Amino acid sequence: MSTMWQGCLADTDYFEMRSSGGHDYGVWVTTPPGYDPATTRAPAVYVLDGNWAVGMTAPLVVTQQDPMQQIQPYIQVSVGYAGEDAQHWARLRNRDLVPPGEPIAKEFIDAVEMGIRTGAMTHEEADAYLAELRDTRADAFLSFLTTELHPRIERDYGTATSGHGLFGYSYGGLFSLYAWLSGSTLFESIGAGSPGVVSEDSQVFAQLKELGDSQPAAKLHVTVNDQELLGDLAVYQSLAKNAATVLHRLTSRGGAVTSAVLRETHVTGLQASFLSYLRTCRAR
């Protein structure tokens, strides 16, 4: 990493990796202060949407030295897109983070159309954005994380054999729920911030039904933002309502599921949600 970026993201390496499916990913690896795998090995926490999230979440590695509320040591692995794909991360994430067969909610289409009207995106950008939602492959991306990327992180950074985590926000939060409900055994704790369960017909509800009375062993922490629920944007209202429905169905069964309502908007909630996950699932 260049000297300039090293000053902003201390103890952070960057590399690029092509998946078996032919997609190029950028990976930022932030190690704990003074990390030495020869003495103490730390687990990995995978953070999605690396192109956006790394600058707001990787600096929180200092929480491991907070004398008032220490967080268990972890290596942060932020996963985003590389090369030409990096400038298109906002639409490519639709392909990777959304479960196969996930319906495109009317509220979501309305939000995209509003983006065109307000000049936030062009018609061409909107078409490309929605096109990625017609063939979604969260299953392939989960396989990449667990069977391709993690072995490399384990080898190159000397991670612990257990205690790994996953955090995603918005569609990343939807992916986190999908990974948890799929029973992935790599992660012992999962954070789902404002999970993008926009449709009442979401695959998440089908997964819940298949789950029956059982529940994955991993800890799950879900956050939503009060302004999603109280604001006037239908897409965020649906997200908050459906996330609450998921939580009600899970907590009625018991198990290691926690939640928090944060005083944020959907855009500003990323860092607060990650910190809530750390404090809830990874505190000493």
Distances (CA, A) of 67 to 42, 64, 70: 19, 9, 6
For the record, the structure tokens of 160 come out as: 């612990």
Question: Which pLDDT score, from 0 to 100, does residue 55 have?
Answer: 94
Question: Which pLDDT score, from 0 to 100, does residue 255 have?
Answer: 66
Q: How far apart are the first and last CA of the chain?
A: 31
- Using CA atoms, how far apart are residues 2 and 219, in angstroms rounded to an integer? 37
Domain boundaries, the chain: 3-101+136-281
Question: Which pLDDT score, from 0 to 100, does residue 59 have?
Answer: 93
Q: Angle at Cα 115 formed by Cα 110 and Cα 116, nearest 5°?
A: 100
Q: Which residue has tokens 């008032």?
A: 68
- Using CA atoms, how far apart are residues 225 and 229, in angstroms rounded to an integer? 7
Q: How large is the C-alpha radius of gyration of the chain?
A: 18
pLDDT per residue as tens digits for the range 127-137: 888 888 899 99
Domain 3-101+136-281 in CATH 3.30.310.40:
no
Question: What are the DSSP E strand ranges found in the chain?
Answer: 12-18, 24-30, 44-47, 75-81, 165-169, 189-193, 219-225, 257-262
pLDDT in tens, the chain (284 residues): 555 455 678 899 999 999 999 999 999 999 998 899 989 899 999 999 999 999 999 999 999 988 998 899 999 999 999 999 999 999 999 999 999 999 988 888 888 888 899 998 898 888 888 888 899 999 999 999 999 999 999 999 999 999 999 999 999 999 999 999 999 999 999 999 999 999 999 999 999 999 888 889 999 999 999 999 999 999 999 999 999 999 999 987 776 799 999 999 999 999 999 999 999 999 98
φ and ψ at 32, to 5 degrees?
-60, 155
Question: Which pLDDT score, from 0 to 100, does residue 6 have?
Answer: 57
- Using CA atoms, how far apart are residues 52 and 64, in angstroms rounded to an integer? 22
Question: Which pLDDT score, from 0 to 100, does residue 188 have?
Answer: 97
Distances (CA, A) of 72 to 30, 52, 96, 153, 165: 14, 24, 29, 18, 12
- Using CA atoms, how far apart are residues 30 and 42, in angstroms rounded to an integer? 11
Write the DSSP string, 6-27. Answer: HHHSTTEEEEEEE-TTS-EEEE
Instruction: Let me know: does 139 contact 100? Beta carbons within 8 Å.
Output: yes
The amino acid sitting at 128 is A
**Sign of torsion, CA 33 61 278 136?**
negative
